[in-house]
Structure 1
Amino acid sequence: MAKMDLIVRRAQLDGKEVDIFVADGKIAEVKPAAKELDAGDATVEEAFGLTVMASMTDVHVHLREPGFEYKEDVESGLRAAAWGGFSNILCMANTKPVNDDTAVTRLMLEQAEKFWPDGPRLFPIGALTKGLKGEELAPMAELAEAGCAAFSNDGVPVKSTELFRRAMEYASDWDRVVIDHCEDPYMGVAAGVNEGAVSSRLGLPAQPDMAEALQVARDVLLAEYLDIPIHLAHISCRKSVDFIRAAKERGVKVTAETAPHYLILTEDYLENEATEYDTNAKVNPPLRTPDDQQALLDALNDGTMDCFATDHAPHAAFEKETEFDVAPCGISGLDTALSVTWQLVRDGKLKKEAFTRAWTTAPCSIFNLPVNTFQPGDPADFFLFDESEEWTVCSESMHSKGKNTPLKGSNLKGRVKTHFIQGKKIV
């Protein structure tokens, strides 16, 4: 056996107490926990029965740098990711200037290397069109060479189907996947509340689920016609799930993500007496109905929905402290995602294997990222997790600059105690 650098002792993995051996940043071996062990020169981390989990991947975050550092920056966003259990982070291009220039890509990567040289790893997402204006393709070849792992027009859907088609083809030439924010550009854009009885009672401009599903249908048809992969962002409703499931049954190369907030909250939250018109729950696409929520859970459990993504969208407090219809959309999610999705497993709503797939193997497979499955040779990316620790979501307990979450004041269960990436302790 190679010389060990790290040994994690007596950790719980899949219900068994194990010792984890790490050499040269990779998993060397996982064995049943020994009563006694000669560690040699290796660093020993005593887990004391804590659960060990493979580090997670978030394929949809907004780190705001450059241009909006008052909301978030690379340093603070990756700090939240490290404590949230994430080893790989894909960040969107809606910065100022937009990440349609290799200088912006390099800045992001340099900031990550400066503040978090041992990880979490940052993978920028390049803009699909110049300035995210949907008029002219961004220099995708240069962006891919500079380090962009995917391409997206983020929250500004490309109106021209012809242009979007060309973007998919060009991205495919560089072995990159296009991520699409599915929203009809003429139908209740970024309204932040679902169109239905709740929006009518609240008297708010709203967006129907059909606005998402129409764009999903377009993208599925394009992917099928071109035989090119497409990844669909933050799916929120049953209509979209039905299109995706049918497409997969036909063999279409479509993958999709949903966000934790769609699985724990519905539109009803906005008219509860204590949370009525809470702008922290204004998100795009909006919180939907209980039926949509169940459809998403079913889709995660049966594999129709490939992965989770937080759609981490931090904002300053003053931006959310305004009228609902003018407040920006977005929920800060890196700090809370692990706790809330693991609670779904505890409650029997989400299969454990679906949780693992959605946070680790599926996103890494889609975007060709490193993943730990605790097999020899895998990157030693894992964290020790105290499943029983209770904590309250508040400004002090969140590592992100963005405190804009409807979970503020909630009591959650489960916290990361320490996190290793490639065998190095990062927190």
Structure 2
Amino acid sequence: MSWLIKGGLVFYNDILSLTDILISEGKIAAIGHNLTADHEIDATGLLVTPGLVDLHVHYRDPGLTYKETVTTGSKAAAHGGFTTVGAMPNVKPVPNTAALLSKMVVENHKKGVVHILQYAPLTKDENSDEILDYQALKEAGAFALSNDGFGVQNAETMYKAMQKAAVNNLIVAAHAQDDSLFNKGVINEVDKAEKFNLPAISELAETTQIARDLLLAAKTGVHYHVCHVSTKTSLDLIRIAKKRGINVTCEVAPHHILLSQDDILTDDPYYKMNPPLRSKDDQMALIEGLLDGTVDFIATDHAPHAAYEKEGSMLNAAFGITGSETCFSMLYTKLVKTGIVSLEQLLTWLTVRPADLFNLKHCGRLVVGEPADIAIFDLNQPHQLQISEYQSKGKNTPFTGNIVYGTTAYTIVDGNIVYQRKEVA
């Protein structure tokens, strides 16, 4: 059976043009005009893109499935137009062995409706100094390494891990956090901490560890990737490192480029995330970092929690914000429609760049002969973000209620429709 996506504005070869896409046997069979198929999707007035790529999600499965599962998390990804995601290993048990990692890979494929790439932990249980068997983890299906949620506290441990990762050609994706400077904080270190009488998180907790790791990366030659960069100083360090030829990349999360601490008006746990929302100057620096190429791509850090874990005060609530289902529409509405970035730039940060920089095959671009992983968005009709529409178990986002453009109409994985907006059903 074949499908024709007809009449859409298509992001193809890094430009936008009106063309059609023929899908046959799960693959893109042709891109052009005068094509025919058994069935058609009328994409007139809609945007057609490669399936979005998000290399930073938390699916909580196994062990924490009251927060999220592979199924609900991947459905949330599909709702947001993502067809390939990278799942962090902060689950129970942590996949420290090839057997555990292999089981997760199998379950991801079995239960997920999108392609789920699996991170392996950098050290045992993500918070120790015991370095794991990276070769075995890679053979079991790990595409990169991360202790996300924990910073590696011991410099020697990080040095040895980077050496071993480089030998095995594995990327080290780091959550930069020096616990001695983090000081059990819950909010950024300025006036809001004082106003709400909450312990502050120093930006030094992030920046000093990035500085350390950049020197270690220079020595080892490993591909060092910094997760969820949040400060201007962090970007300054990364910018200098890139100019010196250090193999470093970094990502920024939607919430850090759309919000600042100025948006926190009350002691509201929905604004509690790690790294925290920083100053307005930091927020503007992150956008500038995207525009000048210091920031390489956007990743959501989708972090779902049960409702009761995001109640009360920031002091005791869990860190984290969901992002899969609001990412594209919020960024399109706040950045593209306001003229801050172009649509092509936004799409590049969400497709081409993460795929290229992590050496991922079969995603990030529309290519004849490759799997038909495609997202279709409605840029014209306004829509209010509503909890009732979320596919994730986690509803913990302050973006609910926003009026947005760029909602997902269809998400297609391997030629199969895995999400279809009800209005067009």
What is the distance in 1 between the residues matched to 2:20 and 2:342?
25
What secondary structure is seen at the aligned counterpart in 1 of 2:406?
A: strand
Is 1:256 the counterpart of 2:250? The answer is yes
What does 1:382-393 correspond to in 2, within 5 Å?
A: 382-393=374-385
Q: Distance in 1 between matches of 2:186 and 2:51?
A: 31
Aligned CA distance change for structure 1 residues 8 and 166 (closer, same or farther; 3 Å) = same
- Deviation of residue 404 (structure 1)? 0.6
Please give the alpha-carbon distance, in whole angstroms, between the structure 2 residues aligned to 1:132 and 1:155.
8
- Distance in 2, matches of 1:201 and 1:263, equals 23
| 1:67 counterpart residue number | 63
The alpha-carbon deviation at position 345 of structure 1 amounts to 1.5
- TM-aligned CA deviation for residue 162 of structure 1: 1.1
Bigger mean CA deviation after superposition, 191-200 or 299-308: 191-200
Quick one: which amino acid aligns to residue 337 of structure 2?
A: R
Partner Cα separation in structure 2 for residue 421 and residue 167 of structure 1: 35
Shift of 1:178: 0.6
In the alignment, is residue 316 of structure 1 matched against residue 306 of structure 2? yes
Residue 55 of structure 1, CA deviation: 0.9
Contact 1:278 1:406 in 2 (8 A): no
Conservation of the 8 A alpha-carbon contact between 1:7 and 1:22? yes
Judged with a 3 Å threshold, the aligned counterparts in structure 2 of structure 1 residues 86 and 415 are, in CA distance, closer, same or farther, namely same
The offset of 1:133, in angstroms, is: 2.3
SS in 2 for 1:408: coil
Q: CA deviation at 1:107?
A: 3.2
Shift of the alpha carbon at 1:38?
4.1
Match of 1:12 in 2: 9
Shift of 1:330: 0.3
SS in structure 1 at match of 2:407: strand
2:321 to 323, 331, 334: 331
Single out whichever of 140-149 and 259-268 deviates more from structure 2. Answer: 140-149
Equivalence map 1:71-86=2 (5 Å): 71-86=67-82
Other-structure match for 1:350: 341
How many matched pairs? 413
1:368 maps to 2:359: yes
CA distance in 2, matches of 1:146, 1:387: 40
Q: Which deviations, in whole Å up to 9, do the C-alpha atoms of 1:330-386 show, x marking residues without a partner?
A: 001111011111121221222333312211111112222232423434432111111
Shift, 1:192, TM fit: 2.9
Change (3 A) 1:189 1:371: farther
1:105 aligned counterpart, secondary structure: helix
Contact in 1 for aligned 2:4/2:36 (Cα 8 Å): no
Rounded Cα–Cα distance in structure 2 between residues aligned with 1:157 and 1:112: 26
Counterpart-to-counterpart distance in 1, 2:105 and 2:222: 28
1:8-157 superposed matches below 5 A: 8-13=5-10, 16-32=17-33, 34=34, 38-39=36-37, 42-116=38-112, 119-157=113-151
Output one character per residue of 1:114-159: Cα deviation in whole Å (capped at 9) or x when no partner.
Answer: 333xx41111111111112222012322211111111111111111
Single out whichever of 280-289 and 125-134 deviates more from structure 2.
125-134
Alpha-carbon spacing, 1:57–1:150, altered in 2? closer, same or farther (3 Å):
same
Q: Which residue of structure 1 aligns with residue 166 of structure 2?
A: 172
Distance across 2 between alignment mates of 1:96 and 1:389? 42
Moved more, 410-419 or 388-397: 388-397
Give the TM-score of the pair, scaled to structure 2: 0.92
Cα deviation for residue 200 of structure 1 reads 1.9
Q: Does the residue aligned with 1:388 lie in a helix, a strand or coil?
A: coil
Distance in 2 between residues matched to 1:395 and 1:420, nearest whole Å:
23
Question: Tell me, what secondary structure is at the counterpart of 2:142?
Answer: coil
Secondary structure of 1:149's match?
Answer: strand
Q: What is the letter of the counterpart of residue 29 of structure 2?
A: A
Cα deviation 1:197-232 (Å, max 9, x = unaligned): 222222211112222111111111111122221000
TM-score (norm 1): 0.92
Q: Residues of 2 paired with 1:55 and 1:280: CA distance?
A: 28
1:382-424 CA deviation, whole Å, 9 max, x = no partner? 1111112333333201110000111122222221111112322
Residue 398 of structure 2: aligned partner = 406
8 Å contact kept, 2:6–2:43: yes
One-letter code aligned to 1:397: E
| Partner Cα distance (1:190, 1:385) in 2 | 41
Contact 1:54 1:381 in 2 (8 A): yes
Offset at 1:167? 0.9
Alpha-carbon distance in 1 for matches of 2:339, 2:82: 23
Cα distance in 1 between the residues matched to 2:214 and 2:344: 26
Hey, what's the Cα distance between the residues in 2 that align with 1:247 and 1:162?
20
User: What SS does structure 1 have at the residue aligned with 2:393?
Assistant: coil
